[in-house]
């Protein structure tokens, strides 16, 4: 990515907090704050106070969850782009309003600083039609653009680029490199990254599809959902709330905290054992599917809160991937190093890494790239 001498304020609006980080031209974090946002928006006075304490800020990068088919790359924000982002609210009703609230609040403090929208869906815009298309009636797909968008793209983009660096591949053209990036956190998804471009991913039209997550169900049979609505009389709003907030590990094990799940499973708690095993079964199966999308695998990356911090999940996941050539060294895996590190066993064909999730670096790089055009 092109670099300019720019200090970038990275704005990440989450479900209950607003994360602000200032990155220097060398991607060092020079200032930051995590502000509470209990109703989806942080207090404007707190935002102003934080930003005014940060010192130099030349540009702003906003993480925006959904770019739909409008935005397949980062874009300089103007009034038209803001309207475009707002028009996608129906596709991400839980996330888009928070991003817009943060955009407006930060712009009020820094009206002269260029602001760039960086989209979590954009990295997956390169997915081919075979992977992106749902087998639904053509008139539905034409009317509503029903397709698989994928999410966590900023994390997948950074992790795949970082592992290419560690493997010595050219940073802008890692030709032929086949990487499965595993973003495992409260939300979780995989990406098949071929030659630096997303070829497939596990999340789809919404972030509910794919892996078992902390409170989200991941993929379920749509017929099951229809049965609950038609035969059990479950209202659609209740179905949505249950699939989003009361499923996943929380529904299986009674807790959404992977650390607690593993601790209880080690003590023989049957619900926790089931939760752990269902999580791993779906994870291993999906890694296999991502490898198949690239006709093989050269490296696997674990990132995100669970991916970075749970040596047990990494070793158990790898234990079912020997057929792909994945083998993890137990002592390296147990180290939980502070930096990005290799956990693969010596002599294995497929390399395995733990990479710290740094969406802030990815966003700062995208901001500089847009400004350098």
Nearest to 196 by CA among 287, 299, 289: 299
- Are 328 and 318 contacting, i.e. CB atoms less than 8 angstroms apart? yes
| Candidates 120, 200, 298, 360; catalytic one | 120
Report the b/e string of 230-261 with b at 16+ CB within 10 A.
eeeeeeeeeeeebbbeebbbbbbbebbebebb
Residues across the chain: 373
119 near 74, Cβ under 8 Å?
yes
76: tokens are 């300089």
Q: How far is CA 2 from the centre of its chain?
A: 23
Catalytic annotation present for 5: no
How far is residue 91's CA from residue 75's CA, in Å, rounded to a whole number? 19
| Dihedral in degrees, nearest 10, Cα atoms 215, 220, 226, 232 | -60
The rounded Cα 121 to chain-centroid distance in angstroms is: 9
Report DSSP letters for 315-342, one per residue. Answer: HHHHHT-GGGT--B-HHHHHT--SS-EE
Joined together, the tokens standing for residue 167 give: 């493997």
Residues in contact with 171: Cβ distance below 8 Å, sequence separation at least 6, in sequence order: 161, 164, 165
Burial of residue 111, with CB atoms counted within 10 A of its CB: 0-12 exposed, 13-18 middle, 19 or more buried: exposed
Residues designated as active site: 120
């Amino acid at each position: 990515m092109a670099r300019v001498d720019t200090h970038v304020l990275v704005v990440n609006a989450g479900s209950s907090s607003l994360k602000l980080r200032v990155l220097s031209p060398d991607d060092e974090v020079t200032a930051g704050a995590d502000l509470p946002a209990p109703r989806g928006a942080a207090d404007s006075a707190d935002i102003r106070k934080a930003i005014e304490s940060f010192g130099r800020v030349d540009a702003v990068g906003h993480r925006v969850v959904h770019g739909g088919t409008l935005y397949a790359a980062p874009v300089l924000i103007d009034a038209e782009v803001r309207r475009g982002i707002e028009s996608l609210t129906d596709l991400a009703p839980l996330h888009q309003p928070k991003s817009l609230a943060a955009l407006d609040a930060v712009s009020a403090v820094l009206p002269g600083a260029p602001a760039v929208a960086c989209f979590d869906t954009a990295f997956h815009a390169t997915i081919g039609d075979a992977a992106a298309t749902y087998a639904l009636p053509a008139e539905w797909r034409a009317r509503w653009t029903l397709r698989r968008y994928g999410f966590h793209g900023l994390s997948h983009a950074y992790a795949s680029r970082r592992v290419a660096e560690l493997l010595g591949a050219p940073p802008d053209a890692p030709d032929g490199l086949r990487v499965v990036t595993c973003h495992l956190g409260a939300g979780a998804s995989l990406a098949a990254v071929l030659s630096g471009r997303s070829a497939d991913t596990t999340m789809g039209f919404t972030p509910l599809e794919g892996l078992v997550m902390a409170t989200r169900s991941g993929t379920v049979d749509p017929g099951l959902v229809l049965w609950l609505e038609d035969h059990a009389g479950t209202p659609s709003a209740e179905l949505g709330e249950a699939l989003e907030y009361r499923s996943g590990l929380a529904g299986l094990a009674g807790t959404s905290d992977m650390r607690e799940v593993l601790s209880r499973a080690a003590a023989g708690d049957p619900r926790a054992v089931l939760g752990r095993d269902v999580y791993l079964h779906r994870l291993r199966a999906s890694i296999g599917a991502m490898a198949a999308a690239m006709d093989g695998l050269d490296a696997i990356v674990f990132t995100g809160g669970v991916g970075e911090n749970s040596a047990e999940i990494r070793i158990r996941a790898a234990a079912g991937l020997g057929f792909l050539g994945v083998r993890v060294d137990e002592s390296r895996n147990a180290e939980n190093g502070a930096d990005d590190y290799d956990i693969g066993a010596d002599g294995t064909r497929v390399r395995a890494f733990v990479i710290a999730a740094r969406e802030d670096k990815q966003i700062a790089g995208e901001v500089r790239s847009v400004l350098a055009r």
